Structure 1
Amino acid sequence: MTKYVVGSMGYLRYLVDSLPEEASNIFDRAEAGLDVLYAPDVVVGETLYEVALGGEVAGVALQGNPNDVYRRTVTNGPIDVVALDEHAMAIYASLAEFYDST
Structure 2
Amino acid sequence: MSTLQEKKLLIDILNAVNSIDEHLESKRVFEEYLSNKTKRRAVERELEIIGEAMTKLLKINPSISISYSRLIVDLRNKVIHAYDNIDDILIWKVIMKDIPVLKSEVEKLLSDEN
TM score, norm. by length of structure 1: 0.30
Structure in which a larger fraction of residues adopt helix? 2
- Give the number of the structure whose alpha-carbon radius of gyration is greater: 2
Bigger proportion of residues as strand: 1
